[in-house]
């Protein structure tokens, strides 16, 4: 009976290790693809201000990009998205920027000087857009 319990635990452990390796490979593949995307985004007027790697079962890469608000009108963002119609990651970043600017305009807020884009890439990329410097870090 004890052998059966031990075999069950070993089987569960092997499955867990297999799934963790699958997640790690998927994350690494996603990170590699974004290493091609980031220079393209930077070429439109963003500067990479910070770069970090998180090593874990689900590795991730975190990047902060800084740009000037006046350089990104809705029209220019639309042009950039049109130029990159076959690059979904680039479109994701600029769609997030476009949506953030549009929502800010609906609030009748004064335009900010800076745009900060935070990208966290793992199995599922996350994109945050700040218009102005966030007070909470």
- What spatial distance separates the first Cα and last Cα of the chain, rounded to whole Å? 53
Domain count, the chain: 1
Is 137 part of any domain? no
Q: Is residue 51 part of a domain?
A: yes
| Residue 21 included in any domain | yes
Mean pLDDT (whole number) for 90-102: 96
CA distance 27 to 34: 11
State the sign of the Cα–Cα–Cα–Cα dihedral 38, 57, 126, 51. negative
| Region 121-137 average pLDDT | 81
Segments in the chain forming alpha helices (H): 2-42, 74-83, 88-106
Whole-number pLDDT of residue 19 = 55
- The pair of three-digit structure tokens given for residue 72, joined into one six-digit string: 């990104």
How confident is residue 6, by pLDDT bands cut at 50, 70 and 90?
Answer: low
Residue 68 counted as domain residue: yes
Domain assignment present for 95:
yes
The answer to whether position 136 is within a domain reads no
pLDDT given at position 124: 77
Q: Are 68 and 41 spatial neighbours (Cβ–Cβ below 8 Å)? A: no
The pLDDT of residue 110 = 78
Note down the domain range covering 87.
2-131
| Amino acid 137: pLDDT | 61
pTM of the model: 0.77
Residue 91 lies inside a defined structural domain of this protein: yes
Long-range contacts from 88-96, C-beta under 8 angstroms, 24+ separation: 89/33, 89/34, 89/37, 89/125, 90/37, 90/40, 90/41, 92/125, 92/127, 93/37, 93/41, 93/117, 93/119, 93/127, 96/127, 96/128, 96/129
In a domain, 101, yes or no: yes
* Confidence at 5, pLDDT banded by 50, 70, 90: low
């Amino acid at each position: 009976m004890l052998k059966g319990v031990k075999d069950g635990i070993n089987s569960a452990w092997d499955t867990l290790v297999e799934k963790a390796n699958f997640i790690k490979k998927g994350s690494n593949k996603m990170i590699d693809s974004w290493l091609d995307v980031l220079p393209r985004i930077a070429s439109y007027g963003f500067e990479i201000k910070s770069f970090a790697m998180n090593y874990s079962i689900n590795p991730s890469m975190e990047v902060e990009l800084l740009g000037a608000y006046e350089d990104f009108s809705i029209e220019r963002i639309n042009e950039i998205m049109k130029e990159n119609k076959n690059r979904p990651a680039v479109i994701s970043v600029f769609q997030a920027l476009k949506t953030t600017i549009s929502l800010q305009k609906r609030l009748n807020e004064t335009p900010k000087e800076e745009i900060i884009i935070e990208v966290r890439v793992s199995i599922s990329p996350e994109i945050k857009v700040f218009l102005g410097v966030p007070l909470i870090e």
